[in-house]
């Protein structure tokens, strides 16, 4: 047990987050996403929705404030302007935790897969809602 670590952040995820540097990307995806196909390490958070997972992860991971759009989400196939409720909820969590407005980039499905292959790690959640797939770019901690 460690103090002040969110209970959803197990040793494997804690290690993966600690190894990330400024500008590295973390993919947090729904249960339909082919997580292992990305070819990068996968940490499973089965039974946890993506909003709760992102909220827990952001207790440790700062979001980049150098990038104009440090968060990306998978766009709805055939309707890239659509904003599913899960996307709105994750955006709200990011802005609440960061205490600032954070722009979210929409990425076409297959482009999202390509970007996820460059992620440091994929966090596979139990999210059942479609399009619950996000890329978070790690920022720096300013003391």
Q: Which domains does the chain have, with CATH numbers?
A: 22-137 (3.40.1650.10)
Q: List active site positions.
A: 22
Q: What share of the chain is helix, strand, coil (3-state, %, to 5)?
A: 30, 20, 50
Going residue by residue through the chain, which has 143 residues, state the pLDDT in tens, using 9 for 90 and above. 788 999 999 999 999 999 999 999 999 999 999 999 989 999 999 999 999 999 999 999 999 999 999 999 999 999 989 999 999 999 999 999 999 999 999 999 999 999 999 999 999 999 999 999 999 999 998 87
Burial class (CB in 10 A: 0-12, 13-18, 19+), 133: buried
Residue 2: per-residue pLDDT: 81
Between CA 71 and CA 135 the distance in angstroms is 6
């Amino acid at each position: 047990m460690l103090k002040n670590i969110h209970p959803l952040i197990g040793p494997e995820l804690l290690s993966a987050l600690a190894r990330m540097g400024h500008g590295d990307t973390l993919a947090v995806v729904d249960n339909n996403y082919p997580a292992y196909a990305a070819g990068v390490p996968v940490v499973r958070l089965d039974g946890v929705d993506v909003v709760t997972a992102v909220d827990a992860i952001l207790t440790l991971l700062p979001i980049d404030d150098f990038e104009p759009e440090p968060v990306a989400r998978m766009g709805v196939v055939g309707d890239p302007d659509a904003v599913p409720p899960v996307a709105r909820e994750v955006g709200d969590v990011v802005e609440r935790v960061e205490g600032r407005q954070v722009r979210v980039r929409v990425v076409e499905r297959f482009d999202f897969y390509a970007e996820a292959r460059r992620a440091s790690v994929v966090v596979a959640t139990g999210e059942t809602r479609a399009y619950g797939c996000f890329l978070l770019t790690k920022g720096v901690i300013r003391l």
